[in-house]
Structure 1
Amino acid sequence: MAWILLALAIATEVLATSALKLSNGLTHLGWTIVVAAGYLTSFTLLARVLKLQLDMGTAYAIWSGAGTAAIALIGAAFMGETLTALKIGGILLIIGGVIVLNLAGGH
Protein backbone atom coordinates (compact mmCIF):
# COMPACT_ATOMS: atom_id res chain seq x y z
CA MET A 1 0.00 0.00 0.00
CA ALA A 2 2.86 2.41 0.81
CA TRP A 3 4.31 2.02 -2.67
CA ILE A 4 0.97 2.79 -4.33
CA LEU A 5 0.53 5.88 -2.17
CA LEU A 6 4.09 6.95 -3.00
CA ALA A 7 3.36 6.60 -6.72
CA LEU A 8 0.25 8.74 -6.28
CA ALA A 9 2.25 11.31 -4.30
CA ILE A 10 4.77 11.50 -7.15
CA ALA A 11 2.03 11.81 -9.77
CA THR A 12 0.26 14.64 -7.93
CA GLU A 13 3.57 16.47 -7.35
CA VAL A 14 4.40 16.21 -11.06
CA LEU A 15 0.91 17.45 -11.94
CA ALA A 16 1.28 20.40 -9.55
CA THR A 17 4.72 21.33 -10.86
CA SER A 18 3.51 21.16 -14.47
CA ALA A 19 0.56 23.35 -13.54
CA LEU A 20 2.95 25.77 -11.85
CA LYS A 21 4.55 26.44 -15.24
CA LEU A 22 1.12 26.86 -16.83
CA SER A 23 -0.15 29.16 -14.07
CA ASN A 24 1.91 32.06 -15.45
CA GLY A 25 3.38 33.04 -12.10
CA LEU A 26 0.23 31.99 -10.21
CA THR A 27 -1.79 34.60 -12.11
CA HIS A 28 -4.13 32.11 -13.81
CA LEU A 29 -6.69 31.13 -11.16
CA GLY A 30 -7.57 27.70 -12.56
CA TRP A 31 -3.97 26.51 -12.81
CA THR A 32 -3.17 28.08 -9.43
CA ILE A 33 -5.91 25.96 -7.84
CA VAL A 34 -4.44 22.86 -9.53
CA VAL A 35 -1.00 23.79 -8.14
CA ALA A 36 -2.27 24.22 -4.58
CA ALA A 37 -4.44 21.10 -4.64
CA GLY A 38 -1.68 19.02 -6.24
CA TYR A 39 1.00 19.99 -3.74
CA LEU A 40 -1.37 19.60 -0.78
CA THR A 41 -2.38 16.14 -1.99
CA SER A 42 1.20 15.14 -2.71
CA PHE A 43 2.49 16.17 0.73
CA THR A 44 -0.47 14.52 2.43
CA LEU A 45 0.19 11.26 0.59
CA LEU A 46 3.93 11.46 1.31
CA ALA A 47 3.20 11.99 5.01
CA ARG A 48 0.94 8.93 4.96
CA VAL A 49 3.68 6.87 3.28
CA LEU A 50 6.13 7.86 6.01
CA LYS A 51 3.61 6.86 8.66
CA LEU A 52 3.07 3.44 7.08
CA GLN A 53 6.46 1.84 6.62
CA LEU A 54 9.01 3.41 4.31
CA ASP A 55 12.20 5.00 5.63
CA MET A 56 12.11 8.79 5.37
CA GLY A 57 15.30 9.06 3.32
CA THR A 58 14.24 6.40 0.86
CA ALA A 59 10.69 7.69 0.44
CA TYR A 60 11.80 11.29 -0.01
CA ALA A 61 14.58 10.31 -2.43
CA ILE A 62 12.15 8.34 -4.57
CA TRP A 63 9.49 11.09 -4.39
CA SER A 64 11.85 13.93 -5.26
CA GLY A 65 14.01 11.98 -7.71
CA ALA A 66 11.16 10.51 -9.71
CA GLY A 67 9.42 13.88 -9.71
CA THR A 68 12.55 15.67 -10.91
CA ALA A 69 13.16 13.16 -13.68
CA ALA A 70 9.52 13.25 -14.80
CA ILE A 71 9.42 17.05 -14.83
CA ALA A 72 12.62 17.24 -16.89
CA LEU A 73 11.13 14.83 -19.44
CA ILE A 74 7.73 16.59 -19.49
CA GLY A 75 9.47 19.94 -19.95
CA ALA A 76 11.37 18.59 -22.94
CA ALA A 77 8.44 16.72 -24.47
CA PHE A 78 5.64 19.26 -24.01
CA MET A 79 7.00 22.65 -22.95
CA GLY A 80 9.77 23.29 -25.42
CA GLU A 81 12.61 22.92 -22.93
CA THR A 82 15.93 21.46 -23.99
CA LEU A 83 17.09 18.01 -22.98
CA THR A 84 20.87 17.86 -23.33
CA ALA A 85 23.20 14.93 -22.80
CA LEU A 86 24.27 16.55 -19.52
CA LYS A 87 20.65 16.75 -18.31
CA ILE A 88 20.09 13.11 -19.26
CA GLY A 89 23.26 12.20 -17.33
CA GLY A 90 21.95 14.09 -14.32
CA ILE A 91 18.63 12.27 -14.48
CA LEU A 92 20.45 8.94 -14.64
CA LEU A 93 22.52 9.92 -11.59
CA ILE A 94 19.34 10.78 -9.69
CA ILE A 95 17.81 7.42 -10.60
CA GLY A 96 21.01 5.63 -9.61
CA GLY A 97 21.08 7.42 -6.27
CA VAL A 98 17.50 6.45 -5.56
CA ILE A 99 18.28 2.82 -6.37
CA VAL A 100 21.29 2.84 -4.02
CA LEU A 101 19.24 4.40 -1.20
CA ASN A 102 16.50 1.83 -1.74
CA LEU A 103 18.98 -1.06 -1.67
CA ALA A 104 20.56 0.32 1.51
CA GLY A 105 17.18 0.80 3.23
CA GLY A 106 16.22 -0.91 6.43
CA HIS A 107 13.29 -2.89 4.96
Structure 2
Amino acid sequence: MGYALLAGAIAAEVAGTTAMKYSEGFSKLVPSLITVAGYLLAFTLLAQTLKTLSVGTAYAIWAGIGTAAVAAIGMVFLGESANMVKIAGIALVIAGVVVLNLGGAH
Protein backbone atom coordinates (compact mmCIF):
# COMPACT_ATOMS: atom_id res chain seq x y z
CA MET A 1 0.00 0.00 0.00
CA GLY A 2 2.89 2.36 0.74
CA TYR A 3 4.21 2.21 -2.80
CA ALA A 4 0.75 2.85 -4.26
CA LEU A 5 0.40 5.96 -2.10
CA LEU A 6 3.90 7.01 -3.10
CA ALA A 7 3.04 6.59 -6.79
CA GLY A 8 0.00 8.82 -6.26
CA ALA A 9 2.16 11.40 -4.48
CA ILE A 10 4.61 11.40 -7.37
CA ALA A 11 1.82 11.76 -9.95
CA ALA A 12 0.25 14.64 -8.01
CA GLU A 13 3.59 16.42 -7.67
CA VAL A 14 4.38 16.01 -11.37
CA ALA A 15 0.91 17.31 -12.29
CA GLY A 16 1.33 20.27 -9.95
CA THR A 17 4.76 21.11 -11.31
CA THR A 18 3.60 20.82 -14.91
CA ALA A 19 0.61 23.05 -14.17
CA MET A 20 2.97 25.57 -12.59
CA LYS A 21 4.64 26.00 -15.99
CA TYR A 22 1.26 27.03 -17.42
CA SER A 23 0.34 29.31 -14.49
CA GLU A 24 2.70 32.01 -15.81
CA GLY A 25 3.92 33.02 -12.38
CA PHE A 26 0.56 32.26 -10.76
CA SER A 27 -1.12 34.87 -12.95
CA LYS A 28 -3.52 32.34 -14.53
CA LEU A 29 -6.19 31.03 -12.17
CA VAL A 30 -6.88 27.47 -13.36
CA PRO A 31 -3.25 26.31 -13.70
CA SER A 32 -2.48 28.01 -10.37
CA LEU A 33 -5.29 26.12 -8.64
CA ILE A 34 -4.13 22.84 -10.21
CA THR A 35 -0.62 23.56 -8.93
CA VAL A 36 -1.82 24.16 -5.37
CA ALA A 37 -4.14 21.14 -5.43
CA GLY A 38 -1.38 18.94 -6.88
CA TYR A 39 1.07 19.88 -4.17
CA LEU A 40 -1.49 19.56 -1.37
CA LEU A 41 -2.40 16.08 -2.59
CA ALA A 42 1.26 15.15 -3.10
CA PHE A 43 2.25 16.09 0.45
CA THR A 44 -0.85 14.45 1.92
CA LEU A 45 -0.11 11.19 0.12
CA LEU A 46 3.59 11.41 0.97
CA ALA A 47 2.70 11.84 4.65
CA GLN A 48 0.53 8.72 4.48
CA THR A 49 3.35 6.87 2.73
CA LEU A 50 5.66 7.58 5.65
CA LYS A 51 3.48 5.40 7.87
CA THR A 52 4.87 2.32 6.10
CA LEU A 53 8.11 3.38 4.35
CA SER A 54 11.22 5.00 5.78
CA VAL A 55 11.44 8.73 5.24
CA GLY A 56 14.81 8.59 3.47
CA THR A 57 13.69 5.99 0.99
CA ALA A 58 10.25 7.47 0.35
CA TYR A 59 11.56 10.99 -0.12
CA ALA A 60 14.42 9.85 -2.37
CA ILE A 61 12.01 7.92 -4.59
CA TRP A 62 9.48 10.79 -4.61
CA ALA A 63 12.06 13.42 -5.45
CA GLY A 64 14.03 11.28 -7.90
CA ILE A 65 11.17 9.91 -9.95
CA GLY A 66 9.35 13.25 -9.81
CA THR A 67 12.42 15.09 -11.06
CA ALA A 68 13.04 12.57 -13.84
CA ALA A 69 9.38 12.67 -14.91
CA VAL A 70 9.23 16.47 -15.00
CA ALA A 71 12.48 16.64 -16.96
CA ALA A 72 11.15 14.10 -19.47
CA ILE A 73 7.83 15.95 -19.78
CA GLY A 74 9.73 19.15 -20.42
CA MET A 75 11.77 17.58 -23.18
CA VAL A 76 8.96 15.60 -24.82
CA PHE A 77 5.97 17.93 -24.49
CA LEU A 78 7.21 21.42 -23.62
CA GLY A 79 9.92 21.89 -26.22
CA GLU A 80 12.86 21.92 -23.84
CA SER A 81 16.17 20.86 -25.28
CA ALA A 82 17.02 17.18 -25.15
CA ASN A 83 20.59 15.98 -25.38
CA MET A 84 22.55 12.96 -24.31
CA VAL A 85 23.75 14.59 -21.10
CA LYS A 86 20.17 15.28 -19.93
CA ILE A 87 19.00 11.82 -20.93
CA ALA A 88 21.96 10.25 -19.12
CA GLY A 89 21.11 12.31 -16.04
CA ILE A 90 17.54 11.06 -16.05
CA ALA A 91 18.78 7.49 -16.47
CA LEU A 92 21.13 7.94 -13.51
CA VAL A 93 18.31 9.25 -11.32
CA ILE A 94 16.18 6.23 -12.21
CA ALA A 95 19.13 3.89 -11.64
CA GLY A 96 19.67 5.47 -8.22
CA VAL A 97 16.07 4.81 -7.25
CA VAL A 98 16.37 1.19 -8.38
CA VAL A 99 19.62 0.71 -6.43
CA LEU A 100 18.05 2.30 -3.37
CA ASN A 101 15.19 -0.19 -3.52
CA LEU A 102 17.49 -3.14 -4.11
CA GLY A 103 19.54 -2.07 -1.10
CA GLY A 104 16.71 -2.63 1.34
CA ALA A 105 14.16 0.12 0.95
CA HIS A 106 11.60 -1.74 3.06
Shorter-chain TM-score: which interval? over 0.9
Task: Give the 3-state SS of the residue equivalent to 1:45 in structure 2.
Answer: helix
Preserved CA contact (<8 Å) 2:10 2:65:
yes
State the shift of 1:106 in Å: 5.2
Matched residues in 2 for 1:60 and 1:85: separation?
27
Q: Where does residue 53 of structure 2 map in the other structure?
A: 54
Count residues with an aligned counterpart.
Answer: 106
State whether structure 2 residue 12 is matched by structure 1 residue 28.
no
Q: Where does residue 91 of structure 1 map in the other structure?
A: 90
Matched residues in 2 for 1:77 and 1:87: separation?
12
Q: Where does residue 10 of structure 1 map in the other structure?
A: 10
Report the CA distance shift for 1:71/1:84 in structure 2 as closer, same or farther (over 3 A).
same
Instruction: Using the aligned pairs only, state the percent identity.
Output: 56
Quote the RMSD (CA, aligned, Å). 1.0
Q: Where does residue 43 of structure 1 map in the other structure?
A: 43
State whether structure 2 residue 65 is matched by structure 1 residue 66.
yes
Task: Give the 3-state SS of the residue equivalent to 2:79 in structure 1.
Answer: coil
For structure 2, which runs of at least 5 residues remain unmatched after alignment?
none
Matched residues in 2 for 1:13 and 1:76: separation?
18
Q: Where does residue 103 of structure 1 map in the other structure?
A: 102
Matched residues in 2 for 1:102 and 1:56: separation?
13
Q: Deviations over 1:7-35 (max 9, x none)?
A: 11000000000000000011101111100
Matched residues in 2 for 1:90 and 1:16: separation?
22
Preserved CA contact (<8 Å) 1:58 1:105:
no
State the shift of 1:105 in Å: 2.5
State the shift of 1:62 in Å: 1.0
TM-score by length of 1: 0.94
Matched residues in 1 for 2:105 and 2:19: separation?
35
Runs of 4+ with deviation above 6 angstroms: none
